[in-house]
């Protein structure tokens, strides 16, 4: 079944650009809403790209650069006696936990066939569809018969040696021969609807960004309790023993994700995809 593209007026497009880049954007006017809805496959792909860019910023600019200046990151980071921040996967988990509390009904889960934590083990339909993701690394979209939710699974690749080493060396890991480039798991998104309006998509993006902001703020609160707390403000770990404030961190997130998200929406409008009832592979989003 072919789903129609959606129409974005010039005024809505201007508001959309402001919304994606501004610190505290006003909501889009309902009267200027788009005519047709956005397929959930497109919406979840856009959200996944936003999340992937956030993870890159956190992994590279906070964890990677931070370790070089003496900041520590540990799976037990929430223990009172441990003076460390969350590893990238745990930062995503905290973001997902915060997202669950929001009214947008957006689920986020980083699962695996060989998880360190049993709670991250794929089961049921997700385990079946992960076999396809694991085989070729392409995303899979399906309507879950178990939960009656639209589901999207995106390959989580071993892109950094520290991640590979951590999983290979961890005593609870069921697999110890991970290599760079392996599909270690899948970032999995769920939503009850099969299509969303532009305003609804922006609410989902806002919910994700708000959850990222809360997760990062939680890390800063922990960092302030260290015996030698890092300076918190405008500086990043690349500048020394420092961490950006939540506002500074989120400004980089918006600057990094806004353009890609806007381009993805425009690309989807120009070239609507075919979507049927069977699992679908691939919805193009500009990289």
Q: Note the pLDDT tens digit of each residue in 232-277.
A: 999 999 999 999 999 999 999 999 988 888 888 777 666 544 444 4
Q: What is the mean pLDDT of the chain?
A: 84
Task: Give the pLDDT score at 277.
Answer: 45
Among 15-24, 45-54, 204-213, name the one with the lowest average pLDDT.
15-24
Q: Which among 65, 94, 89, 92 is positioned nearest to 78, based on CA atoms?
A: 94
Name the strand (E) or helix (H) holding 281.
strand 280-281
Look at residue 147 and tell me whether its pLDDT is greater than 90.
no
Q: Which among 135, 140, 109 is positioned nearest to 122, based on CA atoms?
A: 109
- In terms of average pLDDT, the best of 16-25, 26-35, 44-53 is 44-53
| Confidence tier at 27 by pLDDT (50, 70, 90) | low
Determine the average pLDDT of the residues in 171-188.
84
Identify whether the C-beta of residue 11 lies closer than 8 Å to the C-beta of residue 20.
Answer: no
What span, in angstroms and rounded, lies between the C-alpha atoms of 72 and 186?
A: 26
Tell me the domain boundaries of the chain: 10-275
Determine what percent of the chain is predicted with pLDDT higher than 90: 54
Q: Note the pLDDT tens digit of each residue in 30-47.
A: 544 445 688 999 999 999
Among 70-79, 95-104, 117-126, 156-165, name the one with the lowest average pLDDT.
156-165
What span, in angstroms and rounded, lies between the C-alpha atoms of 229 and 226?
A: 5
- The more confident residue out of 17 and 34 is 17
Identify whether the C-beta of residue 271 lies closer than 8 Å to the C-beta of residue 33.
Answer: no
- The more confident residue out of 202 and 32 is 202
Identify whether the C-beta of residue 78 lies closer than 8 Å to the C-beta of residue 87.
Answer: no
Task: Give the pLDDT score at 120.
Answer: 81
Task: Give the pLDDT score at 287.
Answer: 37
Identify whether the C-beta of residue 40 lies closer than 8 Å to the C-beta of residue 275.
Answer: no
| Residue in the block written with tokens 């005593």 | 171
- The more confident residue out of 13 and 79 is 79
Identify whether the C-beta of residue 230 lies closer than 8 Å to the C-beta of residue 243.
Answer: yes
Among 125-129, 183-187, 211-215, 283-287, name the one with the lowest average pLDDT.
283-287
Beta bridge partners of 121: 112
* CB-CB neighbours of 251 under 10 Å: 14
Q: Note the pLDDT tens digit of each residue in 86-116.
A: 999 899 999 999 999 999 999 999 988 887 7
Identify whether the C-beta of residue 202 lies closer than 8 Å to the C-beta of residue 264.
Answer: no
Determine the average pLDDT of the residues in 70-88.
94
């Amino acid at each position: 079944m072919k789903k129609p593209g959606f129409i974005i007026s010039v005024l809505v497009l201007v508001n959309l650009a402001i919304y994606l880049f501004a610190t505290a954007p006003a909501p889009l006017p309902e009267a200027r809403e788009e005519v047709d809805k956005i397929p959930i496959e497109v919406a979840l792909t856009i959200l996944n790209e936003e999340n992937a860019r956030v993870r890159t910023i956190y992994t590279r600019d906070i964890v990677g650069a931070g370790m070089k200046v003496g900041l520590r990151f540990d799976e037990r980071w929430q223990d009172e006696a441990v003076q460390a921040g969350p590893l990238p996967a745990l930062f995503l988990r905290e973001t997902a936990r915060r997202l669950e509390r929001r009214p947008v009904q957006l689920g986020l889960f980083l699962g695996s066939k060989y998880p360190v934590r049993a709670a991250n083990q794929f089961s049921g339909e997700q385990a079946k569809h992960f076999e396809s993701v694991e085989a070729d690394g392409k995303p899979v979209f399906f309507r879950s018969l178990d939960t009656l939710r639209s589901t999207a699974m995106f390959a989580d690749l071993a892109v950094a040696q520290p991640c590979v080493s951590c999983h290979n060396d961890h005593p609870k890991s069921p697999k110890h021969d991970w290599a760079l480039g392996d599909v270690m798991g899948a970032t999995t998104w769920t939503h009850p609807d099969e299509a969303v309006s532009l305003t609804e998509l922006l609410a989902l993006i806002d919910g994700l960004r708000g959850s990222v902001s809360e997760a990062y703020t939680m890390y800063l609160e922990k960092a302030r309790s260290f015996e030698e707390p890092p300076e918190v403000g405008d500086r990043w770990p690349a500048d020394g023993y420092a961490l950006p404030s939540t506002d500074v961190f989120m400004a980089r997130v918006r600057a990094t994700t806004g353009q890609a998200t806007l381009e993805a929406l425009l690309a989807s409008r120009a070239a609507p995809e075919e979507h049927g009832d069977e699992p679908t592979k691939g919805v193009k989003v500009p990289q």
